Structure formats: structure tokens, C-alpha cells
Amino acid sequence: MIDKGKKYSVGFLFDEDNDWISNFFSEESLPFKDKYDYTLSSDKNVFRNFDIVFILGYTKILDSEFLDKNDLNMIVHESDLPRGRGYSPVQWQILEGKDSIPISLFEADLEIDSGEIISKDVLYLDGSELYEEIRGKQAVATKKIIKEFLKKYPIYERTKQKGKETVYRKRNVTDSELDVNASIKDQFQLLRIVNNDSWPAFFYLKGKKYYLKIMQGDD
């Protein structure tokens, strides 16, 4: 039986304070405050005996001790799981030429991106966005799938992942290298996903390394 008068405790665990995803979340912007008490933190030790914990953009290892502390731990991952497990799924799929990126909300498990699926949605891009705008649209899509879950909770279903598993490897700074013999057009997808500050595009020419920053103009 559903207790309509109960307020549920909901946590949002981020990798760091003021990281790319946490900056899009605040207690003031979260819905259904008559139904939920919210806690936002990058400290996993804050979350104990919560009804729900959303784990967003979190890159550290979570063990069974953490997962067992809360009733339901969930992750938002931008791929059609089990395809596209692993790192940087949005970036890899943009490199594959995709503008429609599947999103999976699933229960956290000890194995990477292997938990049961709770819901799916799609992140739509138009093919012109650069890194910051992509992150912004990713955050909006994340909030949307979470809001839809919270709207229905405590009613929800789990389904096991089905299909062939594929895994994206972790990207590093060397993945931002441009080919001086290829055109800008041919490398535009790579330019869209580089971070001008953390891993800017670069190329080698005549024995020297050059960095290239990209931004949209007003024209």
C-alpha cells in the first residue's frame, strides 16, 4: 500500500562540488517538494538510509557497503544499455555521427553499468553544439528522466538488460589530437567534444605541438 502522506528522502551524489552536472542541480530547482526531502552532496558518506540516491557523473568506485546503505541507488547513463557501457558515452556516440543519444536510468550494481533498467529516454542534438552546449543539453535530459521517475515513485518497474554488451574505453588527452592532413569538416565531430580547458584540440606540425580552441561565433 502506498503511503500518500510520506515524504521520501532523495540524495544526489556528484563527483565534485561545482562540476559540470552538479551546477545544473539545486534544491530550489527540484520538483515535488511536498513529496521529497532532497540532499545534494559530493560526499558519499552523507547518504545513509535514503529512499533514493541518484549517482550523477560519479567516477569513483562505489562498493557494496555504500549501495547497501540506501534503498534504491540509480545512475543515468547516455547509451542504450547494455550497448555503450563504460566511459564518455555521449562523446563516443557523437564521434560515431549520432545526433540521437539514448539515455538509460538504471539501478547501480557492483559491475559497471550492469544494473536493471528502470526507464529510457533520448537526448536529441542538432549536430552543431560544442562541448558546453552538449553538456547543458545532457543535464536537461538527465533532469527530465529523473523528474519522470520521481513523478511516479514509488511505482516503478525494473527490467534486466538485454542484448549484446559493448564497452567504451576511457578517453584521455591524446584523443583530442587533430590530423593535419584531414579537413576541418572531417574532424568537426571531434572538435565538438573537446574541452578547451581540460583537453583542448591539438596537432603537430614541423616538430612542434599547437593547441586549437574552438568556440561559436555570433554570425
pLDDT at 60: 87
Q: What is the pTM of this model?
A: 0.94
pLDDT at 1: 52
Q: Give backbone dihedrals phi and psi of 52, rounded to 5 degrees, phi first.
A: -140, 140
Q: Which residues of the chain have pLDDT under 50?
A: none
For the chain, domain boundaries: 8-167, 173-212
Cell numbers given for 199? 583537453
CA pair distance 153, 33, nearest whole angstrom:
13
Give CB contacts under 8 A, 24+ apart, made by 144-151. 145/76, 145/103, 145/105, 145/119, 145/121, 146/54, 146/76, 146/105, 147/31, 148/119, 148/121, 149/74, 149/105, 149/118, 149/119, 150/10, 150/31, 150/32, 150/35, 150/36, 151/31, 151/32
pLDDT at 6: 86
pLDDT at 69: 97
Return the CATH class of domain 8-167: alpha beta
Cell numbers given for 100? 540521437
Cell numbers given for 87? 566511459
pLDDT at 61: 84
For all residues of the chain together, what is the average pLDDT? 95
- Which residues, 6 or more positions from 126, have their beta carbon under 8 angstroms from its beta carbon? 99
Dmax of the chain from CA atoms? 72
- Which residues, 6 or more positions from 172, have their beta carbon under 8 angstroms from its beta carbon? 199
pLDDT at 218: 81
